[in-house]
Amino acid sequence: MRFLVSPCAYKGTLSALQLCEAIARGIREALPASEISMAPIADGGDGTLDALHAAIGGEFHYVETVDAIGRPVRAKWLHIDQTAVVELACASGLATLLRDNKLNALQAHTYGLGQVTRDALLTRPQYLFVCVGGSASTDGGAGMLTALGAEFLNERGQPVELGGEHLSSVRSCNLKEVKRLIDASGVSSIKVAVDVDNPLLGDYGAAAVYGPQKGAGLEHVKLLNDGLTQLAQVLEAEVGRECKDSPGAGAAGGTAFGVSIALGAEMISGFSWLSSVMNLEEKIRHCDVVITAEGCLDDQSMSGKALGELAKLCKLYGKQLWAVPAMAESDIDWKSQGVDKILTTSSHGKLADEMSVQAAAYDLCKL
CATH code assigned at 34? 3.40.50.10350
Pair 32, 59 in one domain:
no
CB 16 within 8 A of CB 290: no
* pLDDT higher than 80, residue 302: no
What DSSP line would sit under 121-167, residue for residue? HTT--SEEEEE--SBS--STTHHHHHHTT-EEE-TTSPBPPSSGGGG
- pLDDT more than 70, % of the chain: 99
* pLDDT higher than 90, residue 330: no
pLDDT (tens digit per residue) in 108-130: 999 999 999 999 999 999 999 99
Pair 96, 27 in one domain:
no
Q: Which one, of 108, 76, 107, 106, lies nearest residue 91 by Cα?
A: 76
* pLDDT higher than 70, residue 303: no
User: For the residues 139-168, what does the mean pLDDT come to?
Assistant: 98
Pair 136, 236 in one domain:
yes
Pair 314, 259 in one domain:
no
Pair 223, 322 in one domain:
no
User: For the residues 263-289, what does the mean pLDDT come to?
Assistant: 95
pLDDT (tens digit per residue) in 249-258: 999 999 999 9
Q: Which one, of 340, 339, 341, 345, lies nearest residue 358 by Cα?
A: 345
* pLDDT higher than 80, residue 226: yes
CB 317 within 8 A of CB 285: yes
CB 332 within 8 A of CB 317: no
Pair 90, 105 in one domain:
yes
* Ramachandran area for residue 337 (φ above 0: left; ψ -120 to 50: alpha; else beta): alpha
Give the pLDDT confidence score for residue 349 in this predicted structure: 62
343/364 Cα distance (integer angstroms): 7
The CA dihedral of 354, 358, 359, 363, to the nearest 10 degrees, is 150
Pair 224, 306 in one domain:
no
DSSP state of 110: -
Among 214, 238, 271, where does a domain finish? 271
* pLDDT higher than 70, residue 367: yes
pLDDT (tens digit per residue) in 174-184: 999 999 999 99
Helices 176-185 and 251-263, interaxial angle, to 10°?
Answer: 80
Average pLDDT score, the chain: 94
Distance between first and last Cα of the chain: 15
Give the pLDDT confidence score for residue 304 in this predicted structure: 64
Pair 95, 14 in one domain:
no
Pair 324, 194 in one domain:
no
Among 245, 271, 297, where does a domain finish? 271
306/291 Cα distance (integer angstroms): 13
| Domain total in the chain | 2
Pair 27, 52 in one domain:
no
Pair 116, 10 in one domain:
no
Domain containing 95 — which CATH number? 3.90.1510.10
User: For the residues 214-243, what does the mean pLDDT come to?
Assistant: 97
Phi, psi of 336 (to 5 degrees): -70, -20
Pair 27, 67 in one domain:
no
* pLDDT higher than 80, residue 12: no
Give the pLDDT confidence score for residue 133 in this predicted structure: 87
Burial class (CB in 10 A: 0-12, 13-18, 19+), 345: buried
User: For the residues 310-337, what does the mean pLDDT come to?
Assistant: 92
More confident residue, 133 or 88: 88
What DSSP line would sit under 12-24, residue for residue? TTB-HHHHHHHHH
CB 151 within 8 A of CB 108: no
Among 271, 289, 317, where does a domain finish? 271
Domain residues for the domain of 67 are 48-271
* pLDDT higher than 70, residue 355: yes
